[in-house]
Structure 1
């Protein structure tokens, strides 16, 4: 009997329909065309669109035949270009001159709009260009998201792409209802430039009922738009309007001071202050200068009068808040050095650092810098404020901390106090290295020379023949101060862990760290005790984390915080 053979084979895959094949082909063509806008294909392009210097400069390579075939705007523009002066030279189009508002368009917004002309598809924006640096932000209507759509609208309107104009107008309209008052201003500017009347009317209505300062609006808005806002405010509020002048003479003197600042004439400001009873605070001159003056002029202004650098305007903004909106690090630093508080919050609960972070794209701070490239102003602003917050948070009495760390017999012994601090910090680095490293960096202990601790006893006897006693004392004092600050920070943020280390250092020998020395029995005992100590520290660390979470939870639900949140719903801050 013949054995039967059974073959198992899968059925052939179904054939793709002509429509499906066409869709795949079009998708591949679209993807390949989109790649032509990448920097790697710049040499293949036959024209360049140059970005404005204020948007990073550089150029995007384009292909005239594609753009001319897809856009009547580019067809007419390329046809009117003069012949290049040299054979093979690429025409270079300056974006600032090419379209209205072109100086506002960055690469991240330009490439997707051009990509739409190349492919017929609008690519999703890069997340890093539309997300701010504030982790607590939902990123639904923060400034980077708004700026991206505003720049895209300038490009779409300039290139006369009607379908993208409609799309971006709807997105901007959604922002108007959810954004902060001051973030509506760039939407007004693009709506005015691109003649989007419906969007413009919506923005004017929103700004007119806001608490944005009239002087700020007068500076930032086109004159005809400002007049419309002013008219609506006067009709709605009458004599209670901010535009109602209670004392014409006082208002005149204030305006003269602000005009002098517009001219960078600080000497004239000084004369005006002497001739009248109006002060810098009365004129809110420091607020005004923080928004519009050059850093050198601002620094000179602060020398004129004992201005209150923490004075809030009618909308709850201090000069530091306004400097953060401008993101000018020199002005922020001048204010901080004069005692401006980084803790002050706006009516909606934002402090200076939060304001800076919500205006700054993630891309601007996280990207890798090229060689010799300077850090962005936004990065410097955030860095200055973070350092100041750390400095303010870690103020303490170094003498009391030194005495609490050292044993009674060692308080008056400078070298022994150093050794005790070195030992304590060394154990902290063993049990939680990441946290200890961060705290040492904040306290600048990592920039001072290590003294004789459990990690290096030999340094105690080292003598530098080129170092005078004065130099040595200064070096040791700097190390002592840095270590004291380090331990102080540890006590603030890890109190339970600090208690465990205190008890251990008072009761045990520091040679516990040398687990490989001594007899086998000594090593066994050391390992056992070291394991016990690690477990004690782990439990203490868990308690510290729980305490921090409890504090954060109670702060977010405090009546004061809730009161600010309710107040922010009633009125938004203004400049």
Structure 2
């Protein structure tokens, strides 16, 4: 027979003093309470489900063991006035005539109906709060449920950590455990100060539902003071919270936000397009576009569909632009998000596939430096990615989204590794990086030349046969989507040959430009060394940066005009000198003598 590791004595040892006796008694109590807590905590383990006398069913429902938590009514009633009242009312007021027969069955407590916000509570958060009722101790959250899968994330305020505390707050507030509500409220308050504004949205909801007024006020001030798009907030926040955000923005330093400067007529047309998308009526969207001058990009329709519509609606919306000429799937909204970024926040695999097939770039980054894969990983728990296939169940959508993005990144990397591989022997072998950067620099240089003197640049490109080679899109964020045009049936040798021909043609174009337009070439050299060589640099940065760059660009145009005039003047002088040179006279003289001889 197993003996207990704790021994009891009717009297303390003779040598023990009163302070020592008190210390020993305290140690004994601590050991006893610790063992009691550990034993009671085991009752919440799924292995003890058969010992429970009631089931708490999560919002997911079903008979899956993961959706059911077995509880013991006597323990909950003794520890919580909420459960005492709930179980007493159930026994005192049978709902049907056959209730006595049903009392023998185990009661099912539907969590969605049991407490406000119950449909948001997950199993791990519920077990943590119930564990406090059983043991009097609050354990740290399980790592696989409260930590994202991004290894570079510090996990201080990533979305899984926030969601776990939010779910726990719903449970603690619903079960009327005031000490836990205060604890969780302080943790959420810390999150509000450091988390992304988009991740504060669930905190706003729990603060509104549980009437945590101080926390709600803190959230509203943080959200209102951000640059997050008002259309997004209107869709995501509770109505009363959004009204307070609007009011705060109206009377704060942020009264220059989009909602106050947009043309009302334009805003109305955009709202009509969004309403049509809410109704899944893509045909109506097409009619609205035809009747107005607004485009899909103007209405941020792709962003809206990626965030809120069914995958089939987005697919149909993308088909309104079959040639890809009128829709920029890499367009960023006021918050710096592309449609792919919003799709990653939603974690809907079909939408990701539709956007990537249309040319969405996986390397585009948000204003704080996150790409699509990072966004998706920081929303995903380790549990979502570690679930094994059981009973023919599919992987989680979060797992599929991460897999799609990783495969796309590998595919892009493979394309460029093959394009720039050393399989083709060239006359002057170049390092891959040098080859790539030189080609991009040449493309941008020739592009600027075509802007400043298009006719002459076109002529020089024709002479250098650059107009017969294919433009290289490069790896810049603005041009990465053009990689979808690469023919995957093209062999690496053919691809390298095509790029080499383009490099040689552009090099010859620049050399001819230097020969015939030396002053213009010098101006371009100086400009390209001082400024960004990306043609999209005029559209990037803040409004102040754009104004400065546009001013600099205007000055450059004037410098190029003056340089071009000098080049034309030099060419004119050279031409007149050549026509009056002795060599030219000699040619005429010799022809004259030849003609004289023929006449004789």
Q: CA deviation at 1:324?
A: 0.3
**Residue 508 (structure 2) aligns with:** none
Asked if 1 retains the 8 angstrom alpha-carbon contact of 2:330 and 2:360, the reply is: yes
**Residue 128 (structure 1) aligns with:** 144
Greater relative contact order structure (CA < 8 Å, 6+ sep) = 1
Alignment counterpart, residue 25 of structure 1, candidates 29, 32, 46: 32
1:525-544 alignment to 2 at 5 Å? none
- 2:69 aligns to what SS in structure 1? strand
Alignment counterpart, residue 70 of structure 1, candidates 79, 85, 88: 79
Q: CA deviation at 1:367?
A: 3.0
**Residue 534 (structure 1) aligns with:** none
Which whole-Å CA distance do the structure 2 matches of 1:144 and 1:322 have between them?
18
User: Mean alpha-carbon deviation: is it higher for 53-62 or for 100-109?
Assistant: 53-62
Which whole-Å CA distance do the structure 1 matches of 2:128 and 2:378 have between them?
24
Alignment counterpart, residue 294 of structure 1, candidates 289, 310, 316: 310
Report whether the alignment pairs 1:251 with 2:271.
no
**Residue 237 (structure 2) aligns with:** 221
Q: 1:398 to 1:152 in 2, by over 3 A?
A: closer
**Residue 42 (structure 2) aligns with:** 35
**Residue 187 (structure 1) aligns with:** 203
Alignment counterpart, residue 114 of structure 2, candidates 95, 98, 106: 98
Report whether the alignment pairs 1:384 with 2:400.
no
The aligned length equals: 405
Q: CA deviation at 1:128?
A: 1.1
Partner deviation per Cα, 1:489-537 (whole Å, 9 max, x = no partner): xxxxxxxxxxxxxxxxxxxxxxxxxxxxxxxxxxxxxxxxxxxxxxxxx
Q: CA deviation at 1:86?
A: 3.0
- 2:298 aligns to what SS in structure 1? coil
Which whole-Å CA distance do the structure 2 matches of 1:172 and 1:104 have between them?
16
Asked if 2 retains the 8 angstrom alpha-carbon contact of 1:352 and 1:385, the reply is: yes
Which whole-Å CA distance do the structure 2 matches of 1:194 and 1:404 have between them?
67
Asked if 1 retains the 8 angstrom alpha-carbon contact of 2:345 and 2:375, the reply is: yes
Which whole-Å CA distance do the structure 2 matches of 1:333 and 1:153 have between them?
36
Alignment counterpart, residue 70 of structure 2, candidates 46, 61, 73: 61
Partner deviation per Cα, 1:273-315 (whole Å, 9 max, x = no partner): 1111111100001001111000011111111133110000112
**Residue 49 (structure 1) aligns with:** 56
Q: 1:46 to 1:126 in 2, by over 3 A?
A: same
Q: CA deviation at 1:108?
A: 0.7
- 2:169 aligns to what SS in structure 1? helix
Which whole-Å CA distance do the structure 2 matches of 1:351 and 1:211 have between them?
19
Report whether the alignment pairs 1:364 with 2:384.
yes
Which whole-Å CA distance do the structure 1 matches of 2:421 and 2:298 have between them?
44
Partner deviation per Cα, 1:334-358 (whole Å, 9 max, x = no partner): 0000000000000000000000000
- 1:93 aligns to what SS in structure 2? strand
Alignment counterpart, residue 171 of structure 1, candidates 175, 183, 187: 187
Which whole-Å CA distance do the structure 1 matches of 2:363 and 2:420 have between them?
26
Which whole-Å CA distance do the structure 2 matches of 1:353 and 1:401 have between them?
26
User: Mean alpha-carbon deviation: is it higher for 73-82 or for 97-106?
Assistant: 73-82
Q: Which runs of 5+ in 1 are unaligned?
A: 1-11, 406-477, 489-559, 561-566, 569-575
Q: CA deviation at 1:242?
A: 2.3
Q: Which runs of 5+ in 2 are unaligned?
A: 1-14, 426-487, 497-533, 535-540, 543-600
Asked if 1 retains the 8 angstrom alpha-carbon contact of 2:61 and 2:67, the reply is: no
Which whole-Å CA distance do the structure 1 matches of 2:280 and 2:154 have between them?
40
Which whole-Å CA distance do the structure 2 matches of 1:403 and 1:142 have between them?
44
Report whether the alignment pairs 1:328 with 2:348.
yes
**Residue 115 (structure 1) aligns with:** 131
User: Mean alpha-carbon deviation: is it higher for 73-82 or for 162-171?
Assistant: 73-82
- 2:333 aligns to what SS in structure 1? coil
- 2:116 aligns to what SS in structure 1? coil
CA RMSD across the alignment: 2.8
Asked if 1 retains the 8 angstrom alpha-carbon contact of 2:56 and 2:109, the reply is: yes
Which whole-Å CA distance do the structure 2 matches of 1:30 and 1:137 have between them?
34
TM-score, structure 1 normalization = 0.67
TM-score, structure 2 normalization = 0.64
Structure label with greater radius of gyration: 2
Q: CA deviation at 1:368?
A: 2.6
Asked if 2 retains the 8 angstrom alpha-carbon contact of 1:234 and 1:243, the reply is: no
1:334-373 alignment to 2 at 5 Å? 334-373=354-393
Which whole-Å CA distance do the structure 2 matches of 1:222 and 1:87 have between them?
40
Q: CA deviation at 1:58?
A: 1.4
Alignment counterpart, residue 284 of structure 2, candidates 252, 268, 290: 268
Asked if 2 retains the 8 angstrom alpha-carbon contact of 1:245 and 1:251, the reply is: no
Asked if 2 retains the 8 angstrom alpha-carbon contact of 1:134 and 1:354, the reply is: yes
- 1:17 aligns to what SS in structure 2? helix
Q: 1:397 to 1:191 in 2, by over 3 A?
A: closer
Asked if 2 retains the 8 angstrom alpha-carbon contact of 1:320 and 1:332, the reply is: yes
Which whole-Å CA distance do the structure 1 matches of 2:292 and 2:411 have between them?
39
**Residue 175 (structure 2) aligns with:** 159
